[in-house]
């Protein structure tokens, strides 16, 4: 395919890079990358070894020692150039995201646009790495705080957003004065290799230190564990399952490292009697079936007032019947495949568990076969009636399954149901009632890191901090003041007087 050639993707690719060089052995274990769209082999990757990791990690640390001395606005200029390169390669990279991961072409191109947008955001941020000045209790003293570069930032990304989430971390870390070491998902390594090739052009053209942007593709049990235990990587940002995050947090904490965790979501939309269904319907459907239900912000639960429940159910079934399912490269299709057959098994197991617990599938629940579905990764988006306390409803299934849950009485009852899960990422309410909306957004309302009114759970903008609470991990990435996570904070006091007064009025005469 032409877009593979434009991005420098070969039939066989090395799995470790410092931006200027590629490392690895042709005798290493080969990772076969198959498209979930058509089941065809795209390319192979030689998986990196622990020795490859050692080389790349050391180069990243050496790059940090140089990069931290560059003024932040100059770092921002480099990020601007990265954004310009991404504009140049947006079309082929978007197509690769789609072909390798399976999301729709619009979403693939949109993900690259998100990378471009975060570059623009980070450029502005490079001139706003501010600290605060505080009044000292001691005369002739000035006290303030400031932020310094942290070191090498490790980024472990997931398959569902194979490039965008990396950019949230990497572009902010870069303007903060850090170097970056990226371990992408083994399910989507080719998009990472393509991005690394693009970054390599920026590094060469601007004579940047080798290792400023580094890549390592390999097994979690080998290179992944090396990264978690690497004292030269003071911060690791991890996107993945709660189980992965729990293990990583324990390992990193043992060495007093820092981490950003973006883990599971079990996101719900509350529909009150005062909801505008013209607004709500497209938000619900896109939130539930976009990326084939493989977003951390996917709408998984729909909590509906009993007085409108039957109407909502019928409207949703009609909308689901109108969905076009097929190759993600065809822009007319709404829904593409799941990432692989393992994800299909998870989908089927969830439906079986739902039925076992007493739930009912009212639409979908099938794997699609026949022409156009040869990969075996296509499923019918599913609507099911359930209770919030079902074990399967309490879990996050990375598939297009929407659970309908009925509530009675006041909106507080819906909010209580909403909060009774262990995850806390994204949430939404549709209502035209101000009191209901403000209850939902109050400190006794939604317990999620993201709470929306009259828009859905997915599609967060980069300007706001992204992340969640409870078993979602508590981390924040992207906008607002998320940049502070990539820096170390320092409090400074300067005495410009001729006396040495001590704090708290302590006297110490010698």
Half-sphere exposure of 468 (CA within 13 A, CB side): 29
Q: How many CB atoms lie within 10 A of CB 420?
A: 12
296 catalytic? Reply is: yes
- 18 contact partners, CB below 8 Å, separation of at least 6: 55, 56, 59, 60, 210, 211, 214
- Are the beta carbons of 403 and 284 closer than 8 angstroms? no
- Give the active site residue among 119, 176, 296, 377: 296
**Tokens (6 digits) for 456:** 């859905």
CA distance 454 to 460: 14
Burial class of residue 74, CB neighbours in 10 A (0-12, 13-18, 19+):
exposed
Strands 16-17 and 12-14 come out as: unpaired
Q: What is the maximum span of the chain, computed from C-alpha positions, in angstroms?
A: 91
Helices 164-175, 72-88: crossing angle, 10 deg rounding = 150
Integer angstrom CA distances of residue 340 from 85, 101, 188, 411, 464: 31, 9, 11, 39, 32
- Are the beta carbons of 286 and 320 closer than 8 angstroms? no
Strands 299-305 and 360-363 come out as: unpaired
CA distance 359 to 392: 10
**Tokens (6 digits) for 172:** 């902010």
- Give the active site residue among 62, 114, 262, 471: 262
471 catalytic? Reply is: no
- Are the beta carbons of 143 and 491 closer than 8 angstroms? yes
CA distance 161 to 185: 10
Burial class of residue 179, CB neighbours in 10 A (0-12, 13-18, 19+):
buried
- Helix ranges restricted to H, 206-265: 225-228, 242-254
- 410 contact partners, CB below 8 Å, separation of at least 6: none
CA distance 21 to 399: 38
The set of catalytic residues is: 262, 296
């Amino acid at each position: 395919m032409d877009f593979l050639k434009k991005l420098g993707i070969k039939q066989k690719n090395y799995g470790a890079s410092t931006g200027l060089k590629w490392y690895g052995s042709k005798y290493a274990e080969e990772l076969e990358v198959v498209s979930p769209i058509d089941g065809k082999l795209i390319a192979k990757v030689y998986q990196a070894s622990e020795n490859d990791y050692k080389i790349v990690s050391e180069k990243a640390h050496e790059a940090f020692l140089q990069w931290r001395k560059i003024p932040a606005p100059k770092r921002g200029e480099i990020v601007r150039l990265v954004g310009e390169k991404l504009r140049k390669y947006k079309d082929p990279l978007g197509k690769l995201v789609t072909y390798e991961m399976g999301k729709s072409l619009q979403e693939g191109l949109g993900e690259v646009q998100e990378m471009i947008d975060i570059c623009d955001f980070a450029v502005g941020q490079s001139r706003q790495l501010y600290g605060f000045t505080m009044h000292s209790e001691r005369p002739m003293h000035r006290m303030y705080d400031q932020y310094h570069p942290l070191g090498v930032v490790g980024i472990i990304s997931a398959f569902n957003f194979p490039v965008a989430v990396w950019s949230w971390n990497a572009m902010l870390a870069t303007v903060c004065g850090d170097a970056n070491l990226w371990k992408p998902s083994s399910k989507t390594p080719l998009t990472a290799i393509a991005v690394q090739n693009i970054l390599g052009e920026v590094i060469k053209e601007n004579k940047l230190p080798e290792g400023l942007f580094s890549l390592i593709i390999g097994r979690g049990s080998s290179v992944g564990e090396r990264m978690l235990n690497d004292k030269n990587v003071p911060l690791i940002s991890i996107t993945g399952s709660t189980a992965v995050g729990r293990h990583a947090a324990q390992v990193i904490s043992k060495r007093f490292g820092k981490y950003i965790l973006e883990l599971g979501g079990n996101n719900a939309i509350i529909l009150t009697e005062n909801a505008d269904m013209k607004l709500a319907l497209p938000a619900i459907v896109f939130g539930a079936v976009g990326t084939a239900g493989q977003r951390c912000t996917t709408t998984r639960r729909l909590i509906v007032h009993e007085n409108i429940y039957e109407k909502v159910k019928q409207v949703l079934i009609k909308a689901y019947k109108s969905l076009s399912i097929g190759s993600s490269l065809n822009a007319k299709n709404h829904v593409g495949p799941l990432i692989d057959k393992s994800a299909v098994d998870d989908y089927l197991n969830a439906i079986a568990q739902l039925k076992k617990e007493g739930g009912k599938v009212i639409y979908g629940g099938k794997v699609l076969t026949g022409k156009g579905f040869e990969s075996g990764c296509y499923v019918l988006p599913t609507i099911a009636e359930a209770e919030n306390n079902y074990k399967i409803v309490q879990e996050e299934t990375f598939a297009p399954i929407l659970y309908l849950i009925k509530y009675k009485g006041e909106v507080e009852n819906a909010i209580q149901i909403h909060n009774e899960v262990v995850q806390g990422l994204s949430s939404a309410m549709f209502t035209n009632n101000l009191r209901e909306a403000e209850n939902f957004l109050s400190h006794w309302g939604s317990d999620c890191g993201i709470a929306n009114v009259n828009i859905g759970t997915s599609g967060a903008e980069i300007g706001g901090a992204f992340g969640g609470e409870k078993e979602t991990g508590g981390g924040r990435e992207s906008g607002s003041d998320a940049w502070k996570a990539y820096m170390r904070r320092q409090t400074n006091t300067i005495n410009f007087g001729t006396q040495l007064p001590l704090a708290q009025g302590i006297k110490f005469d010698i």
